[in-house]
Structure 1
Amino acid sequence: MAVTRVDQVMRQVRDRLAARTLVPGERLPSIRSLADSLEVSKSTVVEAYERLAAEGLIASRRGSGFYVCGRLPPLSLAEIGPALDRSIDPLWIARQSLEAAEDSLKPGCGWLPPSWLPEDELRRALRQLAREPQSSLLEYGRPYGHAGLREQLARRLGEYGVALGTQQIVLTDGGTHAIDLVCRFFLEPGDEVLVDDPGYFNFQALLRAHRAVPIGVPYTPDGPDVDALAGILQRHRPRLYLTNSAFHNPTGAQLSPLVAHRLLKLAEAHDLLIVEDDIFADFEYEHAPRLSAFDGLQRVIQVGSFSKTLSASVRCGFIAARADWCEQLVDLKLATSFGNSPFNGELLYQLLCKGGYRRHLDGLRARLADAMGETLARLRAIGLQPWLEPRGGVFVWARLPDGLDAAAVSRAALEEGMVLAPGNVFSLGQTAPDYLRFNVAQCQSPRVFELLQRAMAKARRAR
């Protein structure tokens, strides 16, 4: 069915209601001003407003105009932002990965296979905790989180050059919870936030939930394009910048010292706060530069977790920041979740103290290095070109041959029971239509590449 101009006006009003930029009791733009801004006739706006009034979303007040009615519809992330094909909708891709059967092929997902994680070490630690009288099994945790684990994290962060005390670390229920708390703390609806393009797709979804406005920063093999960033900062007033330093998601790139230095200079000049998501730090053989280390946690906040390297079920993350910010973040954590799991904190503390985690990481890095080499070779053999050759980590960002559309290839693969991650899922500006992100740990079966070739062939025939 054709979309009329009246439909378009109604859609714009509904989008503003969904995004909470129009709230109950607020006056809508006048008929004349909306008609001028949308370049439609006044009669088109009148009809759109009348239809919305008939639906009960807005109401007319004689001599005053149209106003939003008393209650907004429930927040729907799908209604905020541009309408996306499901093949490149971040939330839909996440659902497909999480709902797929255990034996499904998931080269597009963002986590390790269960067989790569230290199940035996976890079971031993669980048995040990079960034998000891522990209040962590029964009580709420401390406001900042497990004291011993925070001491361990402070020592580990010190290895990256981040000097801090335990009062600068707040434990959370995973990395996403950490970023959510930071966004709650700093952001107001309508605030502009910088994200990498391409960048981690869940940043976009999380910002939608906070009704912030994401702005893409082009990403290079050495980090964000600082020249482009300088221009963006001249045109906008972003509050935060969400980024990775180590093994950037989805590209696998690492931040260079020069780019880190220039980025921090720009952040200081424009009063920009940086959230450094360091969730892939433990995949490194050699430490890449950390913005938090160069900055001394003055305007950089570091977040991380153990979900990727230890267990997605043991939800434990952290925020490392200025002590005064941490004190206020703790209050916010108590207000929204009343703390985080002391049991998970104690379990992680046991693993870190007894060396089991370090032993696991040594074997994991070697296994990932082998998988990286094998995946790169297999992708090249069927015509895909890696954007760069990562020096570790789990992701390869590769370009399809012949200008193939990654969304079309992903749809064809899903029909075969395989979940891929098309490039525009990660691109706010939709600049990566012919890229796919591959998780090398999930690419060990030869069937991945057989099904990928079939999906590519099907996408070619459909063009």
Structure 2
Amino acid sequence: MAKTKITYTVQFIQDQISNKSLIVGARLPSVRQLATQLNYSISTVVEAYARLVAEGILESRKGSGYYVLGKIEPTLNTETPIQYQREIDPLWISRQSLEANKDTLKPGCGWLPSHWMPEQTIRKALKQAAKSERIFLTDYSKPNGHNELRQYIARKKELYNLKINLNQILITDSATQSIDLIFRNVLKAGDVILIDDPCYFNFRALIQAHGLKAVAIPFTEHGPDLAIFEQALNLQPKIYLTNSAIHNPTGAIVSLQTIYQISKLAEKFNFLIIEDDIFADFETTSAPRYAALTGFKQVIQIGSFTKTLSAAVRCGYIISEVQRIDALIDLRIATNFSHSHLNAEIIYQALIDSSYPKYLDGLKKHLLKTMNDTIRKLAELEIHPWIIPTAGIFLWCKLPDGIHATDLSKLCLKYDVILAPGNSFSQAENAGQFMRFNVAQCIDQKVFDVLALALSALKNIEIGKEDD
């Protein structure tokens, strides 16, 4: 991004301090003098001086001018080297992906490449939000959160035959915060919770952080294995946590019959279903939802706008019965007081912009092509999808015989390619034979070149062991 006149002025002064043209205690030119020297406006120089005062580089002496307070110390490089040998745990993928430099490829992460995101829509929304009423810029939000955003969510849910009162919706700062609030409200350490196997790795991390007992139910191409699910109810679980619509990591869609059976069990055995609807905007056709079939007596639905709009402007939501939402509001006030009202306003302005639906249409077409390309290129490496998803960004793939996902991930990481090994999503015995690929992050041929190189190296190691 091009420098503004203000940032240029700030840099000009910092350079003069660094090269000793201005020493500690030296008086700077007056605002008018520097403005004339640089051919900038007086207001530009005033703002530059003010920023340097705020940073502790200059001090303002009333009636005297601006003085150098201290020299600029060089920034220390505190970046931690990548830990290639770190144990593959539920947070391994997130840590590696978030800490990666801009040249690192991330086919294992769970988000779109930044250049795929609707940057101009967000920039426009930022400008609109800046013009909002003072309350959005300075005050705490109302307990339920941004009113217009809740109205937007309620209208969107009508597409799934859900009629929702606005008081049933709570705006949060993210889907992860939503789950954390629900866990705090409903569960205590030692309680049993059902999850899919495999499931989103951060579900497992949250469960571990809350000291809960997770029971993993094998996930089939139609949803959780019903026979094993029913057996697990003898453990008296309080919650079943799952993805609705597009499942993470498999990309599967739960059948209507399975949703019906699970919903009946929830009612009979009195456990809650938390359905994470975070991938809704990737759908090409609407999949069945637990909430649509059974209502919100046994279901809590959560979501966010991170995947298709912005991960930088965090905003999520919870939908449930009014009484449960009230309890969650009390807990949110006690632990976090409020949510980011400004973030919610930015998200709302982006969602109602005419460019957003067009962006989504183009995104879905782009993903379909990328999905097919990725499947073809992985097949050349003897890596095949468990199922072929109808939409979304994920492929859950079986690796070639004799290749373990952990070994492959650590080797590829040395070549700046971050993968998502199956044992981050599952504790099943065969989890190490699987890998989750984000097709949107597989557009660079280097991903497949590094995979080919790493697979060849690992196969040679296996052959060497056999020869021994």
- TM bucket (normalised to shorter chain) is 0.7 to 0.9
Instruction: Show the counterpart of 1:99.
Output: 99
1:287 maps to a residue whose letter is S
* 1:431 to 1:163, Cα distance in 2 relative to 1, 3 A: farther
> Aligned residues, how many?
378
1:419 corresponds to which residue?
Answer: 418
Instruction: Tell me the equivalent position of 1:326.
Output: 325
- Of 422-431 and 170-179, more deviation after overlay is shown by 422-431
- Looking at structure 2, the residues matched to 345 and 433 of structure 1 have their Cα atoms a distance apart, in angstroms, of 40
Match of 1:192? 192
Does structure 1 residue 113 correspond to structure 2 residue 105? no
Following TM superposition, by how much is the alpha carbon of 1:458 offset from its aligned partner in structure 2, in angstroms? 1.8
Unpaired runs of at least 5, structure 2: 1-84, 463-468
Check if 1:258 corresponds to 2:254.
no
Q: 2:61 maps to what in 1?
A: none
Q: CA deviation at 1:350?
A: 1.4
Deviations 1:416-446 (A, max 9, x none): 1110001111003343111000000000001
Which whole-Å deviations, capped at 9, do the CAs of 1:271-325 have from their partners, x for residues lacking one?
1111000100110010000001101111010000001111101110000001110
**Matched ranges for 1:26-41 at <5 A:** none
Alpha-carbon distance between aligned partners in 2 of 1:181 and 1:428, rounded to the nearest angstrom: 26
Aligned residue in 1 for 2:279: 280
Distance 1:125 1:274, change over 3 A: same
Distance 1:175 1:390 in 2: 23
Superposed, 1:255-404 pairs within 5 Å as 255-404=254-403
Helix, strand or coil for the counterpart of 1:450? helix
The answer on whether the counterparts of 1:409 and 1:458 sit within 8 Å (CA) in structure 2 is: no
Identity, % of aligned pairs?
Answer: 46
Is residue 169–residue 325 contact of structure 2 (8 Å, CA) maintained in 1? yes
Once residues 439 and 87 of structure 1 are traced to their aligned partners in structure 2, the CA distance between those partners, rounded to angstroms, is 22
Q: Output the CA distance in 2 between the equivalents of 1:327 and 1:133.
A: 27
Q: How far apart, in 2, do the equivalents of 1:216 and 1:240 lie?
A: 12
Instruction: Please state how far the C-alpha of 1:122 moved relative to its aligned partner.
Output: 0.7
2 CA distance for matches of 1:300 and 1:428?
26
Query: SS of 2:300's equivalent?
Result: strand
- Secondary structure in structure 2 of the residue aligned to 1:402: coil
In structure 2, do the counterparts of structure 1 residues 133 and 239 end up closer, same or farther at CA, with 3 Å as the change threshold?
Answer: closer
2:169 counterpart residue number:
169
Q: Name the residue aligned to 2:239.
A: 240
1:17 maps to none
Alignment of 1:79-228 (within 5 A): 86-228=86-228
How far apart are 1:129 and its partner, in Å?
A: 2.2
Larger radius of gyration: 2
Q: In 2, are the aligned partners of 1:87 and 1:410 still within 8 Å (CA)?
A: no
Q: Supply the distance in 2 between the matched residues of 1:131 and 1:342 (Cα, whole angstroms).
A: 14
Question: Could you report, residue by residue, the CA deviation over 1:109-144 in whole angstroms, capped at 9, with x for unpaired residues?
Answer: 011110010111111111122234432111111110
> Which residue is 1:20 aligned to?
none
RMSD of aligned alpha carbons: 1.2
**Residues of 2 paired with 1:176 and 1:337: CA distance?**
14
**1:401 match: secondary structure:** coil
CA distance in 2, matches of 1:255, 1:145: 31
Q: In structure 2, what is the equivalent of residue 231 of structure 1?
A: 231
Indicate the SS of the match to 2:91.
helix
Whole-Å separation in 2 of the counterparts to 1:229 and 1:132: 49
Give SS of 2:218's match.
strand
Q: Distance in 2 between matches of 1:265 and 1:312?
A: 36
User: What's the secondary structure of 1:413's corresponding residue?
Assistant: helix
1:403 offset after TM fit, Å? 3.1
Whichever residue aligns with residue 214 of structure 2, its letter is P
Distance in 1, Cα, partners of 2:139 & 2:358: 31
CA distance in 1, matches of 2:109, 2:87: 14
* Structure 2 Cα separation of the partners of residues 88 and 287 of structure 1: 35
What corresponds to 1:448 in structure 2?
447
Give secondary structure in 1 for the equivalent of 2:431.
coil
Task: After the TM superposition, list the runs of 4 or more consecutive aligned residues in structure 1 that deviate by more than 4 angstroms.
Answer: none
Q: Residues 103 and 416 of structure 2 are in contact (CA less than 8 Å); yes or no, is this contact kept in structure 1?
A: no
Give the SS at the match of 1:266.
helix
Distance in 2, Cα, partners of 1:457 & 1:146: 53
Tell me the CA shift for residue 356 of structure 1: 3.0
Contact 1:87 1:93 in 2 (8 A): no
Q: 1:182 and 1:430, CA in 2 relative to 1: closer, same or farther beyond 3 A?
A: farther
Aligned to 1:22: none
1:373 Cα deviation after fit: 0.8
Give CA deviations for 1:371-420 in whole Å, capped at 9, x if unaligned: 11111111112111110000010000010112311111111101111100
Q: 1:305 to 1:132 in 2, by over 3 A?
A: closer
| Mapped partners of 1:104, 1:356: distance in 2 | 30
Q: Cα offset for 1:87?
A: 4.7
Supply the AA of the counterpart residue of 2:440: A
Give, in whole Å, the separation in 1 of the partners of 2:176 and 2:429. 24
Structure 1: segments with no counterpart, 5+ residues: 1-84
**How far apart, in 2, do the equivalents of 1:454 and 1:256 lie?**
39
Question: What does 1:20-31 correspond to in 2, within 5 Å?
Answer: none
TM-score of the pair, normalised by structure 2: 0.79
Tell me the distance in 1 between the aligned counterparts of 2:447 and 2:317. 35
Amino acid at match of 1:414: L
Task: State how far apart, in whole Å, the 1-side matches of 2:148 and 2:381 are.
Answer: 49
